[in-house]
């Protein structure tokens, strides 16, 4: 009689274990991000970075809110004018308004950074998770492939890839952006895959993951419900920092003449045009303002990543 009385209780407890495992995982995940959010919102640097990023994102999406001037409207007789009330940032060597070109250049530069970050992060998460969860020869194979791409400098590899692709004149902006993003994504995923693999390997032995597997949860459910929510924090930090670096990388490629080309506008193009012989001394405003906008954008994303890292790192609590 005692065994019969205890049997239903045991069955009820067993049936409730999957929910208990899920609740435990959700609570850990919610606690991590709630604590991080509490730390970040108390940091003035977080709000400064968020404010600057918001301004640049609005500038990229709606440039006409900041200027009514046409960036393609150039008057040669107005070439190389200093900043004035008519032209806030002066004019370039063709008489184009530097302010209008700087504002409109935000769209291409930030678009490359966002899409490249999305592509590299997605590839890194997928490959790193598969490598760590599967283990064995799958882990070895993916790790060796990643090391091959990791050994190639991303700038040098980007130059080679973009040089090998056809670059006809007057290509649409989205097509040019897609080519630059592809070059960055091909070479940028290994570092994120390594971080993701390490993070998954740390989460995988935890009790709630083992309990979910023992209760018959599918690998996809274990990964999406129990592993990824607790392994994404390092990836988010690195992806935020990489976004700023990819914007700077696009500017470097455009500066070298193999990134974005006219009719697209970008800060790298403006810096390249302003770096000609004699222009830096005679017309420093051509170089100053695009460089300032580029530096502020890159610095904002990098500092935001640092703030998020400090908030998510338990060693710094």
Does 15 reside within a domain?
no
pLDDT digits (tens, 9 = 90+) for 239-289: 988 999 999 999 888 888 888 887 788 888 888 888 765 677 777 888 888
Domain range for 59 = 22-316
Does 36 reside within a domain?
yes
pLDDT band at 1 (very low <50, low <70, confident <90, very high): very low
pTM score of the predicted model = 0.82
pLDDT band at 78 (very low <50, low <70, confident <90, very high): confident
Q: Is the pLDDT of residue 19 over 60?
A: no
Does 66 reside within a domain?
yes
pLDDT digits (tens, 9 = 90+) for 35-55: 778 888 888 999 999 999 999
Please give the average per-residue pLDDT across 191-203, as a whole number.
91
pLDDT of residue 80: 78
Q: Alpha-carbon distance 139 to 133, whole Å? A: 8
pLDDT of residue 7: 43
Cβ of 141: how many Cβ atoms within 10 Å?
Answer: 12
Q: Is the pLDDT of residue 169 over 60?
A: yes
Please write down the long-range contacts of 218-227, taking CB distance under 8 Å and 24 or more positions apart. 219/133, 223/129, 223/133, 225/22, 225/25, 226/21, 226/22, 226/25, 227/129, 227/133, 227/200, 227/203
Q: Alpha-carbon distance 31 to 279, whole Å? A: 55
Does 42 reside within a domain?
yes
pLDDT digits (tens, 9 = 90+) for 53-67: 999 999 999 998 998
Please give the average per-residue pLDDT across 69-90, as a whole number.
81
β-partners of residue 74 are 96
Does 91 reside within a domain?
yes
147 φ, ψ to 5°?
-65, -35
Does 141 reside within a domain?
yes
CA nearest to 36, candidates 299, 267, 301, 307: 307
Residues ≥6 apart with Cβ < 8 Å to 77 = 95
Residue whose token pair is 């897609």:
178
Alpha carbon of residue 218 to chain centroid: 31
Residue whose token pair is 């064995």:
136
Q: Alpha-carbon distance 265 to 140, whole Å? A: 43
Whichever domain contains 101, its CATH number is 1.10.3720.10
Whole-number average pLDDT of the chain: 83
Please give the average per-residue pLDDT across 84-104, as a whole number.
85
Give how many domains the chain has, as a whole number: 1
Please give the average per-residue pLDDT across 89-95, as a whole number.
83
Does 8 reside within a domain?
no
Instruction: Name the token pair of 292.
Output: 């300032």
Does 6 reside within a domain?
no
């Amino acid at each position: 009689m005692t065994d019969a009385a205890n049997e239903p209780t045991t069955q009820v407890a067993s049936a409730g274990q999957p929910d208990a495992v899920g609740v435990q995982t959700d609570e850990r995940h919610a606690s991590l991000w709630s604590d991080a959010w509490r730390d970040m919102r108390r940091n003035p640097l977080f709000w400064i970075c968020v404010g600057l990023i918001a301004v640049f994102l609005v500038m990229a999406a709606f440039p006409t809110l900041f200027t009514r001037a046409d960036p393609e409207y150039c008057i040669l007789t107005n070439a190389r004018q200093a900043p004035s009330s008519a032209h806030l940032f002066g004019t370039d060597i063709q008489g184009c308004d530097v302010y209008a070109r700087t504002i409109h250049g935000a769209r291409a530069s930030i678009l490359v950074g966002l899409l490249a970050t999305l592509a590299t992060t997605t590839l890194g998460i997928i490959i790193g998770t598969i490598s760590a969860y599967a283990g064995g020869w799958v882990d070895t194979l993916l790790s060796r492939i990643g090391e091959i791409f990791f050994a190639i400098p991303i700038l040098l590899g980007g130059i080679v890839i973009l040089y090998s692709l056809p670059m006809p004149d007057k290509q649409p902006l989205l097509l040019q952006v897609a080519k630059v993003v592809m070059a960055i994504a091909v070479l940028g995923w290994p570092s994120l895959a390594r971080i993701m693999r390490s993070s998954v390997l740390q989460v995988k032995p935890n009790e709630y993951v083992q309990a979910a597997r023992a209760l018959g949860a599918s690998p996809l459910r274990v990964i999406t419900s129990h592993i990824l929510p607790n392994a994404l924090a390092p990836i988010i930090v690195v992806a935020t920092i990489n976004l700023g670096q990819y914007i700077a990388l696009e500017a470097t490629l455009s500066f070298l003449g193999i990134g974005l080309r006219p009719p697209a506008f970008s800060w790298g193009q403006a810096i390249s045009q302003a770096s000609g012989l004699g222009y830096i001394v005679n017309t420093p405003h051509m170089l100053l303002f695009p460089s300032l906008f580029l530096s502020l954008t890159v610095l904002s994303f990098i500092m935001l990543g640092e703030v998020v890292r400090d908030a998510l790192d338990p060693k710094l609590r």
